[in-house]
Amino acid sequence: MFDDLSDLYQQVILDHSKSPRNFRVLPQANRIAQGYNPLCGDNITLYLEMAGDVVKNVAFQGSGCAISKASASILTETLKDKTTSEIRSLFGRVHDLITTGKCDGDPIGKLAVFAGVHKFPARVKCAILPWHAAMSAIDGKQEPVSTE
C-alpha cells in the first residue's frame, strides 16, 4: 500500500499535524495522562472530561512528529461521546491497524490513514502513544506512559 515514507504522510496526516484539532488545555478535565516517546521526543498530555464512563470532551497538548500529533488530533475527534468499553475495543483495533496494517470489524474512519505505519517500525510508537495515554487516562492512572 505504501512504498516510501512520503506516501505515509498523507494529506490527512499532514492536515492534522499542521492544524491539530482540540489542541488546548481542557480546564474541566477530570482525567489527565501524559505520554512520552524517548526515541523521538514525542511528548503529549491528554485531557479527558468524563461523565461516568462516557468521554464528554477531550483535548491534548504537546510536541512531536507529524505522526504523533496527527494521531492525537484524530484520537480527540474519535473519542468524544464514546464509552470506556467502546474506547477499549477501539484501542485494540487501532493497535492492530498500526502494528499490522490490518483492521477487522467496523470501518474506523480517518484512523485508516495509519494503516501504513507498520512498515516503518520507528513510527509505530509515535502513532500509538496518544492511544496508550488515552487508556491510561480512562483507567485513572496518573503516572506518565512511555513507549519504551
Q: How many CB atoms lie within 10 A of CB 72?
A: 32
User: pTM value?
Assistant: 0.88
Per CATH, the number for 5-139 is 3.90.1010.10
Domain boundaries, the chain: 5-139
Runs of H (alpha helix) within the chain: 5-8, 11-18, 66-79, 84-100, 121-138
Question: Could you report the per-residue pLDDT of 48-100, keeping only the tens digit for each?
Answer: 999 999 999 999 999 999 999 999 999 999 999 999 999 999 999 999 999 99
